Structure 1
Amino acid sequence: MFSNKTVNILIPIISVVLGLLSGAIIMVAFGYNPVAGYAALWNGAFGDAYFLGETLRQVTPYILSGLAVAFALRTGLLNIGVEGQVFVGWIASVWVGISFELPMIIHLPLAVLAAALAGAFWGFIPGILKAKLGVHEVIVTIMMNYIALYISNSLVRNVLTDGSDQTDKVAKSASLASDWLAGMTYFSRLHWGLLIALAMAFVMWFVLNKTTRGFELRAVGFNQNASNYAGMSVGKNVVLAMVISGAFAGLAGAMEGLGTFEYMSVKSGFTNIGFDGIAVALLGANTAFGVVLAAFLFGTLKIGALNMPTEAGVPTELVEIVIALIIFFVASSYMIRWIILRFKREGK
């Protein structure tokens, strides 16, 4: 009745449906109209060209942060440091964007590359510690989130400005913003970074599924002992996986620094782009295509939620509950899988 591939596709779909249904029940329990609430969410995400542009703009960094987490998970690693890698990618892209006067054909790629390299370096540190000393990457990456946050704030105040809490805007030649896209979407902040994010999803798919190195990375993720016995360098692949994961995350920072905001400011806390990327990767089953779809869902929920208090009187916190429930059901996928497989046996 159901193939294993079908089961893997059904699990995140059922998780989303269960999350939305649970959210509707919670709305009813607290005296809100779930139909009006979800209608307001839909209108807030797709009601007009501006909201559609903002939704796609929010999807962009989610794709890249989701790819960062998914790539690490596919190679047997848990990169909790995506948030910090986003920060260093953001500050690096802005630094290049405000420090040089170059033609766009050079300046923009250079700023984007700087973000990727900064994120890659921030991923290299826990990777080399894991490979050489056996230090668990979760501990190191969590701590490095805070290091990235405070270093970025210090650089903004003491290096990129004279004590200000916000840098200048990046040069036009280093900006991902587009007057054409803004005009098409009623002056939303949609930018060309969406194309970069989609291209990176293809890169992840190609590397993991169509290259020898990708096979090695996946093999190490499945079984390090067997990979080592087969002659693969486990340590080298661990470092490489964290570097590539960090590069994806650094690019997510560039999307904010060169596209959405075009500057870097002092942050009092985390952006949650990296942490939300964990949920995006889980919902997307750690596949490139799945991550794109999951990022689209999360972008829709995040932007659409902003319209719920004004149009339906539903607090935005309920959307956070819905997202949490979706993650819960994804994490409990073994229960959904058991139910599906039971139907499969009964259908024979």
Structure 2
Amino acid sequence: MSSQPEPGAEPGSGRPDVLVHRLPSFALPFLALLRDHFTVLDPRTDSPDEPAHAFLARRAGRTRALVCVGPTPLPADTLRLLPSLRLVVATSAGVDKIDLRECRRRGIAVTNSGAAFAEDVADYAVALLLDVLRRMSASDRYLREGLWLKNGDYPLGFKLGGKRVGIVGLGNIGSQVAKRLQPFSCDIAYNSRSKKPSFPFPYYTSVRDLAANSDVLILCCALTEETRHVIDREVMTVLGDRGVIINVGRGGLIDEKELVQFLVRGELGGAGLDVFEDEPNVPKELFSLDNVVLSPHSAVITPESFEALGELTMSNLKAFFSGQPLSCLVQGE
């Protein structure tokens, strides 16, 4: 008796179809890995001159799995072109660009990649914090511009040891941040959707109360309707003029216009920002501030993280097509 192809497989291939949504050029090795195991549908390489919606209607109607690369929008109108879709594998930790409501309505499972990126992002968050407090980037510029010779020693920075650090979102990334800060003897507290009994840190039900009892806020949570602008004027006010904000989550977690004004007026002590509300546009008012460290959404970008991402993505796709449990499930079918 002849074997039958998996549901959603291209006839004669014996391999399941996997649609890749908006693959950037730096992820080409990732595409090669997928092609070793699946029939990959990629509008950018398969039909670069054809409108994406036409490609989806023509080639992807039977596709059951989609890999959404990076913070790529996946709105309801795109999902409607994929009537057989049952799995979205997001290669980013955040899934705010995916219409989760439509996925839930359709019974489409969604996974993210937070576990693959957690350690690298946590490293980056602590590096940003050290840079903001000790002014490493600013003192580097001071030296290169000849100002050490001309003006003498650079102004003092601040130590990290003993700081009260509030973590907003104690998930994969936030828990790794906490782990890295403990050797610095920081007093760690957190806000999250719910209390985490396995962690010994004080829990605050509101971000405002967390800020009122912190010297530093580190943002590691997902961007949702509930968390958009969770760092607002009131939170910045109670954090105070020596308070520091580190954001490795999403730009929309902060009311960016208010943040700029607080920093320009000296009403916040500093900020380390890897993400912004309107990337790649960054408020120019921040460029001249020595107490602000800016980064182009690169906390997750290491060869090691991409290798881990590839393994996690492959694991979830193989699990899906063999009926096994998924990892890093954001929402189930």
The reply to whether TM is greater than 0.5 is no
Higher strand share: 2
TM normalised by structure 2 equals: 0.29
The structure with the larger Rg is 2
More helix by share: 1
Q: Give TM-score, length-normalised by structure 1.
A: 0.28
Of structures 1 and 2, the one with the larger relative CO (CA 8 A, separation 6+) is 1
